[in-house]
């Protein structure tokens, strides 16, 4: 009997997953929902009668587990990067030109696919079994939503291969088909509940439910479009071949994809998809172009957080007209002052809009926008809705004209705008509640005060709980108070307090950088510390004196002077000193630095060294040198580690002196 039950359970699992694939991957179902449900119930009963038959990859495991208390963080093995955007034909032509120039090729083959309007996720498989799923998050760290992703029937719980790789991370998009979204709203209306706004929001909300059973009630779908980390996976030579391989492993891959050559081929694909778009089963907000050959992708590399070998071509923005009821002021995490339009509710691009950005005061003037005008509101995909232009003038009384306030509406600090800047900013960086979280995270950062164990979630709890208002309040925290916080055991609280205590002993350069002064980065902070040697001298310096610092021009000098002119910022600095934050005055002055082996020299680091890169930079700066990121005729030395690339080639081409690691350490007297 047990043997027959095992055989039947195996047959049912195979049959149910086949029907899942036909329904979600191929849009060609063979059975009705009632017939599918009968097969599913039979398998559930078999596994209930014979618990030993239940397996992790059984379709019954998709129904949802117990609710979780929250989502754990997941550090991505390979970063989930964002794409640059193209909005017009000229952007696509320019992209193709950059790629061809970067590869020194007359023509390049591209893989073209859809840009889904959903939520990016990564799926991890070990030895062929699905073990973890996570959201994109900030690209480096996401949220563990494994239990919820198990409920998505188009995601295979086991790879369809007899020789699964040891590890395979599959990247793709979770979304909701239009038919499933409509069914969801019909159920909501029947229950007297509020209807959902659009499929994307519904999918995102479903995936972030703490109870997977609620996720399972919303019929989510998935499309694969790439991979991350892998071990034991036979990597194809081209992206188009990878998509085909993912399909063979059991992943749904959109059929609307094509390989083309040149800008003409890219634009032809865009036009075809734009025509098909209304008839698709799901929402898209553009198409994606990727250089097809992985070897060429590697050659092109990345710029900032985006690949040079790919771009998203967005569809035109959707627009609607409505009345501008008023203009509010929003203070961003970095102090940016943004005027926000308060609108009469209007439906644009699949969602109801009540607020839209006006960008800045200059834009309001340029577009001649007054309160009570009828305006055109534009929205394109995930882009923040904006007021594009005036459709019809309102009464335009004197009180309807917008005037930028002179004081921050949140903290009362002065609002200032640089001569060549469009964005005005609150100057109360260490004091302003709107900037509180960002200021604290920057203050505690590794290159600033280096407070260990003080991460994003803890800072959020400290700020929202009213325990910390300024960086100085960190030094008043005790173990008992921290241990009361959610997910904070006594040992963890002790570690945080120890990290805070350790940070009291710092350097002047680190402290200056930790203050988060606009336009003052790590290198400028070191230059200021070397030049002034004392915080008091720096705080009392005027714009002219500040410009005496190497590489400090009028804009940076104005930022520094403005920061220390704000009494709130000076008060926080004094509170930090009173809390015991200290450094050696005079440490790192220009006089001391001028005697080192790299005194006055410009140095570039490239390749992999056996010592941490930050340690190497610190050694050079302590020896009087200055670090730059690119090689030029002004460069004095290039320190080249293993696998040094184009910077070494450039140095040799210009005749710049090249040091290997041994020579570098010898100059410093370290070997």
d(CA 478, CA 355): 41
Q: What is the pairing mode between strands 73-75 and 129-135?
A: unpaired
d(CA 125, CA 146): 11
Q: What are phi and psi of 143, to 5 degrees?
A: -110, 140
Query: What are residue 386's DSSP bridge partners?
Result: 357, 378
d(CA 500, CA 652): 45
- Tell me which of 10, 115, 417, 584 is the catalytic residue: 115
**Residue 425: how many CA atoms within 13 Å on its side-chain side?**
21
Q: What are phi and psi of 290, to 5 degrees?
A: -130, 135
d(CA 120, CA 223): 10
**What tokens were used for 601?**
């020299």
Q: Specify the DSSP class assigned to residue 211.
A: S
d(CA 65, CA 63): 7
Q: Is the Cα torsion angle 360, 363, 368, 373 positive or negative in sign?
A: negative
Q: Which of 626, 624, 664 is nearest to 644 (CA)?
A: 664
Helix, strand or coil, per DSSP, at residue 559: helix
d(CA 180, CA 33): 13
d(CA 281, CA 24): 11
Query: What are residue 317's DSSP bridge partners?
Result: none
Q: Which of 235, 223, 247, 225 is nearest to 312 (CA)?
A: 225
Task: Indicate the burial class of 448 (C-beta count within 10 angstroms; 0-12, 13-18, 19 or more).
Answer: buried
The CA dihedral of 529, 532, 537, 538, to the nearest 10 degrees, is: -50
Sheet with 602-606, side-by-side order of all strands: 626-627, 602-606, 637-640, 657-659
Is 115 a known active-site residue? yes
- Any idea which residues carry the catalytic annotation? 115
């Amino acid at each position: 009997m047990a043997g027959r039950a095992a055989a039947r359970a195996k047959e049912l699992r195979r049959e149910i997953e086949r029907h899942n694939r036909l329904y979600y991957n191929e849009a060609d179902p063979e059975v009705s929902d009632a017939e599918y449900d009968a097969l599913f119930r039979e398998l559930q009963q078999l596994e209930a009668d014979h618990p030993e038959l239940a397996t992790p990859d059984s379709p019954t495991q998709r129904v949802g587990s117990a609710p979780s208390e929250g989502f754990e963080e997941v550090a991505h093995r390979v970063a989930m990067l964002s794409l640059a955007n193209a909005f017009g034909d000229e952007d696509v032509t320019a992209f193709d030109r950059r790629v061809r120039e970067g590869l020194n090729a007359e023509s390049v083959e591209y893989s073209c696919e859809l840009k889904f309007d959903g939520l990016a996720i990564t799926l991890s498989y070990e030895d062929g079994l699905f073990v973890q799923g996570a959201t994109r998050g900030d690209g480096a760290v996401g949220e563990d939503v494994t239990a919820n992703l198990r409920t998505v029937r188009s995601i295979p719980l086991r790879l369809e291969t007899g020789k699964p790789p040891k590890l395979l991370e599959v990247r793709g998009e979770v979304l909701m088909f239009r038919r499933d979204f409509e069914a969801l709203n019909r159920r909501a209306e029947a229950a007297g509940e509020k209807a959902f706004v659009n499929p994307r929001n519904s999918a995102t909300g479903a995936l972030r439910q703490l109870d997977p059973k609620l996720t399972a009630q919303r019929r989510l779908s998935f499309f694969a479009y790439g991979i991350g980390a892998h071990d034991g996976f036979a990597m194809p030579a081209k992206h188009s071949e990878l998509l085909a391989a993912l399909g063979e492993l059991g992943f749904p891959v959109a059929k609307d994809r094509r390989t083309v050559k040149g800008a003409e081929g890219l634009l032809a694909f865009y036009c075809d998809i734009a025509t098909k778009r209304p008839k698709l089963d799901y929402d898209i907000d553009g198409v994606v172009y990727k250089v097809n050959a992985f070897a060429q992708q590697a050659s092109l590399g990345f710029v900032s957080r985006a690949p040079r070998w790919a771009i998203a071509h967005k569809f035109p923005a959707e627009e609607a007209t409505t009345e501008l009821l008023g203009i509010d002021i929003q203070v961003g995490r970095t102090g940016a002052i943004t005027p926000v339009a308060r609108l009469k509710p209007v439906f644009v691009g699949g969602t109801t809009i009540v607020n839209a950005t006006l960008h800045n005061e200059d834009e309001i003037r340029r577009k001649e926008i007054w309160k009570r005008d009828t305006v055109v509101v534009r929205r394109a995909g995930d882009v923040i809705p904006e007021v594009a232009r005036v459709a019809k003038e309102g009464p335009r009384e004197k009180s309807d004209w917008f005037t930028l306030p002179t004081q921050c509406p949140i903290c009362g600090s002065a609002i200032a705008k640089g001569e060549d800047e469009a964005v005005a900013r609150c100057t109360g960086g260490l004091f302003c509640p709107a900037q509180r979280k960002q200021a604290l995270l920057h203050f505690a950062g590794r290159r600033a005060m280096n407070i260990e164990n003080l991460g994003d979630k803890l800072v959020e709890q400290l700020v929202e709980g009213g325990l910390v208002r300024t960086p100085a309040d960190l030094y008043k925290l005790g173990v008992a108070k921290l241990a009361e916080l959610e997910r904070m055991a006594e040992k963890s609280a002790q570690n945080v307090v120890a990290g805070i205590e350790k940070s009291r002993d710092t350097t002047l350069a680190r402290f200056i950088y930790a203050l988060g002064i606009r336009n003052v980065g790590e290198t400028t902070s070191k230059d200021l510390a070397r030049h002034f040697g004392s915080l008091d001298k720096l705080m009392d310096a005027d714009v002219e004196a500040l410009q005496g610092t190497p590489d400090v021009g009028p804009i940076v000098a104005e930022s520094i002077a403005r920061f220390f002119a704000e009494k709130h910022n000076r008060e926080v600095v004094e509170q930090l000193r009173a809390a015991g934050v200290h450094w050696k005055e005079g440490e790192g002055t220009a006089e001391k630095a001028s005697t080192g082996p790299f005194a006055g020299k410009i140095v570039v680091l490239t390749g992999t060294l056996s010592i941490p890169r930050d340690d190497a930079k610190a050694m050079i700066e302590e020896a009087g040198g200055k670090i730059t990121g690119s090689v030029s005729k002004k460069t004095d030395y290039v320190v080249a580690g293993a696998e040094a690339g184009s910077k070494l080639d450039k140095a040799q081409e210009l005749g710049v002196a090249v040091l290997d690691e041994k020579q570098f350490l010898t100059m410093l007297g370290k070997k």
